[in-house]
């Protein structure tokens, strides 16, 4: 019996704790970069879809931007194509770009849309081509040893500009936009763009209240491996300088910092391996990651 009372008390505490957050974020936009284990583990997929729908139902406007590196690798393997990389960047020729488009803009995007819809939401899939959402330009990759030499890595793009009008129209109409990170160039060609960059830029352009980046780590860790729950721009610069933030975390944090400096109220790097991490981070005092603010 005591367990029952305890769980009821815990539940009521959590619900009452959520109320001020729901009030504060009502009508605000939250951009979620969805990736890592949360995209591949079935239980985590369900908890993600549930969280996104719940946020929408309490009056918060979620926008989902997704990655799909492992799914692209899998599809290339199936057609017998070996990935080639320069300085960690995939060389994306025309055939590879075709695969990227049907994996990201087709299979992965539609799986996420269906999942959200099955949990009671109204999701709509978009690529950067839809409504002129993401204008891209070809990325020039400077050689790490000779900055005057550039590598041609094919159809990999940078963001030239974002026109968020289609996203705003869908949001106003109770839909949840699910965006694949594919842009289009002035040459009429499609370009694959890093999903972290797309999420950051969309959050920036829409003046989002929050940008949430789901990762396979607990958040930003110090040199002893302890979680840093709150960071400012100044502190991040120090962590870059002393090598605490390095490797795969660098581009993620750089994108997060850029968004925080450009008007996004706070950026959260959360552990996507924790069920319901979105609700825990946004609607409770506890949180499950690192929050970054500009100052």
Q: Is 78 annotated as a binding residue?
A: no
Q: Is 125 annotated as a binding residue?
A: no
Nearest alpha-carbon partner for 178 in 218, 227, 134, 127: 127
Q: Is 90 annotated as a binding residue?
A: yes
Burial of 129 (0-12, 13-18, 19+ CB in 10 A): middle
Interatomic CA distance for residues 288 and 281, integer angstroms: 6
Give Cβ neighbours of residue 26 (< 8 Å, ≥ 6 apart): 58, 59, 60
For residues 33 and 195, the answer to whether their CB atoms sit within 8 Å is yes
Interatomic CA distance for residues 159 and 61, integer angstroms: 23
Give Cβ neighbours of residue 194 (< 8 Å, ≥ 6 apart): 181, 251
Q: Is 194 annotated as a binding residue?
A: no
Q: Which residues of 72-93 are buried (b: 16+ CB within 10 A; e: fewer)?
A: beebbeeeeeeeeeeeeebbbe
Enumerate the β-bridge partners of residue 136: 159
Sheet of 182-184, strands arranged across? 157-162, 134-138, 182-184, 190-192
Query: How many CB atoms neighbour CB 190 within 10 A?
Result: 22
Burial of 221 (0-12, 13-18, 19+ CB in 10 A): middle
Annotated binding site for substrate: 68-69, 90, 192
Q: Which parts are annotated binding residues?
A: 68-69, 90, 192
């Amino acid at each position: 019996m005591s367990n029952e009372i305890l769980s009821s008390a815990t539940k009521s505490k959590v619900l009452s704790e959520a109320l001020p957050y729901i009030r504060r974020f009502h009508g605000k936009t939250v951009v979620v970069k969805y990736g890592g284990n949360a995209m591949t583990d079935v239980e985590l997929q369900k908890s993600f879809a549930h969280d996104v729908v719940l946020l929408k139902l309490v009056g918060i406007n979620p926008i989902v931007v997704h990655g799909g590196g492992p799914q692209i690798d899998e599809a290339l393997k199936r057609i017998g194509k070996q990935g080639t990389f320069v300085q960690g960047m995939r060389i994306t020729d025309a055939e590879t770009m075709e695969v990227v488009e049907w994996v990201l803009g087709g299979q992965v995007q539609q799986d996420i849309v269906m999942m959200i819809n099955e949990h009671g939401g109204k999701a709509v899939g978009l690529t950067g081509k839809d409504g002129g959402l993401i204008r891209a330009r070809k990325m020039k990759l400077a050689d790490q040893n000779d900055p005057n030499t550039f590598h041609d890595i094919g159809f990999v793009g940078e963001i030239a500009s974002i026109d968020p009008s289609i996203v705003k129209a869908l949001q106003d109409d109770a839909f949840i936009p699910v965006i694949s990170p594919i842009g289009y160039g002035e040459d009429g060609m499609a370009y694959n763009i890093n999903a972290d960059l797309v999420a950051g830029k969309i959050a920036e352009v829409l003046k989002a209240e929050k940008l949430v980046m789901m990762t396979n780590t607990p958040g930003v860790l110090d040199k002893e491996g302890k979680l840093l729950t709150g960071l400012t721009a100044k502190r991040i610069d120090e962590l870059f300088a002393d090598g605490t933030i390095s490797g795969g975390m660098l581009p993620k944090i750089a994108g997060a910092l850029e968004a925080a400096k450009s008007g996004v109220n706070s950026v959260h790097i959360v552990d996507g391996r924790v069920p319901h991490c979105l609700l825990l981070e946004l609607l409770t005092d506890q949180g499950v990651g690192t929050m970054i603010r500009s100052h």
